Amino acid sequence: MILVTGGLGFIGSHTVRALLDLGEDCVVVQRRASELPAVLDGARVAVERADITDRDALLAIGRRHRITGIVHLAGSFPWPPVPEEPVEATRQALGGLLNVVEAAQEWGVRRLGVASTIGVYFGAGGDGPLREDAPLAMSAAVSIPTFKKVGELLGGFLADATGVDIVNYRISGTWGPLGHPDPFFAAPALIHAAARGTVPDLSHLMGPAFAEDGLDLSYVKDTGRAIALLQLAGRLNHRTYNVGSGRATTNAQIVEAIRGVVPGARVGLPAGGGGPHMVLDIGRLQEDTGYRAEYDTERAVSDYIGWLRAGNER
């Protein structure tokens, strides 16, 4: 049985769905009571309400279920980015990660996977797709990549010290059903506007959006399946894996795909952008798990618009 922290969230629920489809039983840990999301309708999933920062509550789950692996997707970083009590928020974030590692050690799990982010590569420099062995900058402008870098360093130390197989997932920009507006890319907002027949609200973005802006975007169903394959692989040759599409998707490509589904969609963006696009090299993921993306841009756009038009809010 695989335990998934944050397993009723955006990426978590799709990861659970992929694990179930691959024949695994799952138990999800969620801090707040919540119904199963629509992607898990009809699924047999054990739900444990617990906060991973509560060590005793987390460890007790292992007495109720036989946990063989852990996928840690719950946030291990302070939120909001500048919390009112930064020291305590940092203590909670790192404490949650340490509790999960302790649980993995106590339960004797085969593998612990920990979510990281494409954001760790900001400032890494270099040309071409970003490889896992690229040198990383020591600083970061926002909290999430800062804490993910710290988590990767701690994970490496603890893997060596405890013998637990700890694997990092550097996850690219992910979008699709159950997602929220993302501050770094426009695709979700464009899709929602097309499905609702409105003009997209892009006020949440960190900067203006242009047609040729691009990023390695992965449809969440592909992201969840990649994580599931990494968790279940018999042998992994590395400690860190990029999880993405391996290609840049521009806003112009998203808009074109949207208009193939909704011809009158008012989702045009001004020309411009087109600076360096962050793209992940996913060779390790493909070689060690056989992963191949199932959703190109056109299929992903059609699927997501269909999901929203079926009455789902996000």
List per-residue pLDDT tens for the chain, 314 residues long: 999 999 999 999 999 999 999 999 999 998 886 789 999 988 999 999 999 999 999 999 999 999 999 999 997 776 666 677 888 888 888 999 999 999 999 999 999 999 999 999 987 766 789 999 999 998 887 788 999 999 999 999 999 999 999 999 999 999 999 998 888 999 999 999 999 999 999 999 989 999 999 999 999 999 999 999 999 999 999 999 999 999 999 999 999 999 999 999 999 999 988 778 999 999 999 999 999 999 999 999 999 999 999 999 88
| Cβ–Cβ < 8 Å for 37, 99 | no
How far is residue 278's CA from residue 293's CA, in Å, rounded to a whole number? 18
CATH code: domain of residue 202? 3.90.25
Q: Do residues 269 and 231 share a domain?
A: no
Same domain, 133 and 12: yes
Q: Judge if 91 and 207 occupy the same domain.
A: no
Q: How many domains is the chain built from?
A: 2
Q: How far apart are the first and last CA of the chain?
A: 29
The whole domain housing 253 covers 174-218+246-279+295-309
How far apart CA 121 and CA 136 sit, in angstroms, is 6
Q: Cβ atoms within 10 A of the Cβ of 161, count?
A: 10
d(Cα 111, Cα 133) in Å, to the nearest integer?
21
Query: What are 240's strand-pairing partners?
Result: 168
> pTM for the whole thing?
0.96
Pair of tokens at residue 226: 């990649």
Residues 214 and 237 in one domain: no
> How far is it, in rounded angstroms, from Cα 88 to Cα 29?
22
Would you report the helix, strand and coil content of the chain in percent, each value rounded to 5? Answer: 40, 15, 45
